[in-house]
Every structure is written in C-alpha cells, then in structure tokens.
Amino acid sequence: MLWVKSLHIVFVASWFAGLFYLPRIFVNLAMVAPQSVAERERLLLMANKLLRFMGPMALLALGFGLWLWLGYGIGRGPGNGWLHAKLAVVVAVIGYHHACSAQLKKFRQGATPHSHTWYRWFNEVPVLLLLGAVILVVVKPF
C-alpha cells in the first residue's frame, strides 16, 4: 500500500505543479501586447505543452487515489466523513482543470477572455484546493 500511496502523492504533486503554473501563463498571455505575435505564440506553445503534461498526471493521480480507496479500503467505515469532503475537493480540482483547458482554448482562438488581474486571482484557486485536501487527509477533522 505504501508504494501506491507514494505514487499517488507524486502524481498529485505533479498535477498541481501544472495547475499552479498554467494560470500564471494565462496572466502573461493577458498582458501580451496585440502586436507581439511571437511572444503570444511562445506562451501558447508553453501552455499547450503544460496542459498535455497535466492530463496524464491527473489520470495517474486519480487512478492511484481510486486504488487506495477501493483496493485498500482507505476511508471506509464510521468516522470517515473527511473522505467525502476530500472527494468533493477532488471534483472541484477536476473542474478547475477543465476550466483551465477552456481558458486555453479561448486564448488559442485569439481571445483574451479576462484581465491579467482576474487570472492572478484565478491562480490562487488551486492553492486553496490543495490546502483543503491536505488538511482533510492529514487532520481528518470529521
């Protein structure tokens, strides 16, 4: 079980690395001057590569998490309400990943959907999600 748990943690960390950095690229994309085509293309290339990296990391993190839950019974039985809350956080992280993908699609289409300030705030969401997940798993408050 410790191997599965270790791999789960590694892939969650890798996934979150992408979730932390991709919106930062969005901040830079939102600040690119309209005449800076090369800069915009370079940032889009970086964002596309990062999103392609994040997908497999997400699938592996979710797969190893399911293995821990279903294969080893982590979180089963009474007093494990923390797991339900953590699963809600996981759903929110998946939703955030999808929102990042949708934002990148808009940038690819030539739009700048929001201001750089909006993306700076958007960039804080995964920090809060990770904080919530870690507290739920370590502290198990309920």
Give pTM, 2 decimals: 0.94
Tokens 């590569």 found at: 49
pLDDT tens figures, 124-139:
999 999 999 999 999 9
Q: Are 103 and 30 in contact (CB under 8 A)?
A: no
- Domain boundary assignment for the chain: 2-139
Percent of the chain with pLDDT over 90: 87
Q: Is a pLDDT exceeding 90 seen at residue 71?
A: no
pLDDT tens figures, 10-54:
999 999 999 999 999 999 999 999 899 999 999 999 999 999 999
